[in-house]
Amino acid sequence: MSANVSWIPTAPATFWSSPNDQFSTWPKLAVLALSTFIIHRLYKSASLNMKLPPGPRGWPVIGSVFDIGPHMWLTFTEWKKHYGPIFYVNLAGRSMIVLNTHEVATELLDKRSSIYSDRPRHIVASEIMSGEYLLGFMHFDDKWKRVRRGSHEAMNNQITKTYRPFMQVEGYLLADSLMKAPSMWNDHIKRSAASFIMSVVYGTKSMRTSTDPTLITLHKFLRRSLGAAAGKYWVEFFHFLEYMPRWLAPWRVEAEEWFKTDSKMFEGFYNQVKKRMADGDNRPCTVTTLIEEQKKKNLSTMESVWLAAAMYGGGSESTAGSLGWWITAMVVYPSALRAAQEELDRVVGRDRMPTFDDYDHLPYCRAMVKEVLRWRPATPLGVPHRVERDDWFNGYFIPKGTLVVANIWGMNHDEKVYGPDVHEFNPARFLEGSGKPLPSVSDTKDEGHVTYGFGRRICVGRHVANNNLFIQFASMAWACNIQAKKDAQGNPIMPDADKCTSDLTMHTVPFDCDITPRFPEVPSIIAQSIELNNYGQI
């Protein structure tokens, strides 16, 4: 049978071999080389895609962006069951690798931190609204390294102990506020968190009311920053919008104005500390250390100003979140509160409030800090890292520029690590039967959880946070009975411990509860404790 080949086009043969062809040899070779290159890249791209970690297939273009639900960390933890400790997901064209176990996160974010410590772009939150000065969003470059060294100098474990007077007084003031207006407990913890961090960073006196004008201004700054970082502006998803003329980009004008306003505010706080120092008042605070170390660390004034602002923002937001979750846990798990109170009665007694001198003798109270941070991490997915060059892990390809997310929630709720009651609040999981602390969970840097992050991006303020939460929890547990409200039939109205509000951080949803003094002398002892700790001087 003869084959009919009349359908085969003749153009290619004419192109390459016709004697009347107008093309010379070099252009032909160039076209051939370009064609070969394109085919090779397409083949290589397809080949590498086959080697990406497993993950949901998603939809064309948009990927899995509509499959993740309102709380991404829960979806990722569920996907971990199907795809394993590392998986790939496409979110509207953004490639993301999700890490789900201590071991994998340690290998990539800790051991390979030299290429896994960058951040993705945050056009509004970082580049415009904070002038690329916010430490948490900075790219991994020389500027970040200088600022990070400055932050470590001001927040290391040794200097943290000099901040303990601030922490202790704020613990007592918070307990006092809860006694006087228990229905406003959510406002009290926000005030306490902001006041404490302002004292640590700027050495200011405590802010006594939630209506303090400075507190309100700072709260608005946090909401703006977190909203922008969480993707409030379309330009974060469609980068071409950043090239629009200003008259078509009101978001840019707005962000630039906020940068000017916020810079002026934080410069004002910073200059107040400089003035105090010039007058001979060198009370311990972060900015005092930064001013003393500024030349040595080669920091500009603006870098120091915004480093202090970053410490305020991160510390205030996460502290308020942890305090709220602790109160939630005390209502939902009353046996935990009773265990803490029994320890406090045994060690501290009822004639005085707990102090940092009791720290080593209150293992259950210290375990409550670990458990709150494990059970309800402030940032359940942390802030995404960005890999700076192509990498391979266990046979999987991780392309340069990929976002790398540590599923902190999934790791903190791993039954293989923490046991079958992983979703329950149980501080005793960190203690031996005798009540002594257990050795720390591996790959958690002695924290017992991974809430503070990994590698070179680990939270620089973790020592301050651990100390502050200890004295806050101990003070409230010593002073307060915290119980669920009851309905008309006497049944407890329990809050939903799984319900939360969040942008980049996760907070409990406010609820009604009963907060009362544990014994009649509590109010007077609190008042004496505040006065003895020189509240008027702090």
Q: Give the separation between CA 507 and CA 193, rounded to whole angstroms.
A: 13
**Token pair recorded at residue 520:** 């009649």
CA distances from 372 to 209, 256, 349 (A): 26, 37, 25
CA 154: distance to chain centroid?
A: 19
Calpha distance 465→382 (Å, rounded): 16
Which residue from 303, 308, 286, 322 is spatially nearest to 452, judged by alpha carbons? 322
- Cβ neighbours for 123, distance < 8 A, ≥ 6 positions apart: 233, 235, 236, 239, 242
Rounded Cα–Cα distance for residues 178 and 176 (Å): 5
* Cα–Cα–Cα angle for 69, 224, 323, rounded to 5 degrees: 70
For 199, the token pair is 């004292």
Distances 342 to 176, 348, 350, 365 between C-alpha atoms, Å: 21, 10, 11, 11
CB contact at 8 A, 18 and 12:
no
285 marked as binding residue? no
H or E element at residue 361: none
Backbone angles phi, psi at 283, to 5 degrees: -55, 145
Contact (CB, 8 A) for 442 and 482: no
- If you search the block for the tokens 């002892």, which residue do you land on? 525
Residue type at 292 in one-letter notation: E
The three-point CA angle 152-153-155 to 5° equals 60
CA 453 to chain centre: 8
Cα(204)–Cα(330) distance, rounded to whole angstroms? 31
d(CA 459, CA 152): 10
Instruction: Report which secondary-structure segment, H or E, holds 397.
Output: strand 396-398
What backbone phi and psi angles, to 5 degrees, belong to 210? Answer: -75, -5
Chain CA centroid to CA 254, Å: 25
Residues 125, 127, 130, 133, CA torsion sign: positive
Q: Is there a contact between 36 and 66 (Cβ–Cβ < 8 Å)?
A: no
The string of DSSP codes covering 451-481 is TT--GGGS-TTHHHHHHHHHHHHHHHHHHEE
- DSSP assignment, residue 448? S
Pairing of strands 94-99, 403-406: parallel
In 3D space, the residue among 73, 56, 68, 75 whose CA is nearest the CA of residue 450 turns out to be 73
List residues forming the annotated binding site. 459
List residues forming the annotated binding site for heme. 459
